[in-house]
Amino acid sequence: MIIFPAIDILSGRPVRLIQGDYDQASQVADSIVETAKSFEKAGSEWIHMVDLDGAKAGHPVNHEYILETVRTVGIPIEIGGGIRTEADARLYLDGGVGRVILGTAALQDEHMLRSLVKDYPGKIAVSLDAKDGRVKVAGWLEDGGVLLDDAVKQMEDAGVKTLIVTDIRKDGMLQGPSFALMEHLSALTDCDLVASGGVSSLKDIEQLADMDLYGAIAGKALYSGALDLEQAIAAGRKAGQKEAVQVKGEKTC
């Protein structure tokens, strides 16, 4: 399982929110670039970024900071927040971003979604941010008009390979992820699932890894010191190695 350390960006600064509340933003580091470099040094395979200003405005706002970071570090970055048009997506993808994350646009413009999935295979993910089983959009400020289960099926049908699922009630609370939700969705779809929100400890990472998820996003726990990134990465890799051994054993029986 891949660990995605998160950098949420507001007004050019790395911040964390609580349950998506922009009024409860707190700065967690001095520099976006230096934070990304520290994640790379710790052994991260990917970095997860969100343009919070962009999510609220409906278009990229902090793209210059993001693209500067892409040019600086040697590991891929995925970015979400305010990507509503093909031009927005191409701005990032043509600028070297490893994967673009669509949210609102994926639900509102299926033609655009399918076009990007076709043109950039493997580089389009969809973020489904849910509260009480319903998808939220526009920086979690509006109801998306669809149930989470239905949205998952729509995205899979459109050819999306990676889904990032956030339980808004868990985000930034350090109370543990929504294990039951991720287990439910794992049975519902063949898409690669990334759990987001609530990761608070190494035990959470180990439990998510045992569920055979593709990835998990960690943010506040890293900045608060509750979770050590190197240990989290090792735990995710260990689970993957154990699975590979099991599969190999099954094939030789």
Query: Which residues are catalytic, by number?
Result: 8, 129
Q: For residues 35-56, b (16+ Cβ closer than 10 Å) or e, as one string?
A: bbbbbbebebebbbbbbbbbbb
Tokens linked to 236: 């995710």
Closest to 161 in 3D by CA, of 112, 212, 204, 123: 123
Q: What are phi and psi of 64, to 5 degrees?
A: -65, -40
Rounded-to-integer distance, Cα 129 and Cα 220, Å: 17
Q: In sequence order, which ranges of 47-85 are alpha helices (DSSP H)?
A: 52-57, 63-72
Residue-level length of the chain: 253
Neighbouring-strand partners of residue 215: 2, 194
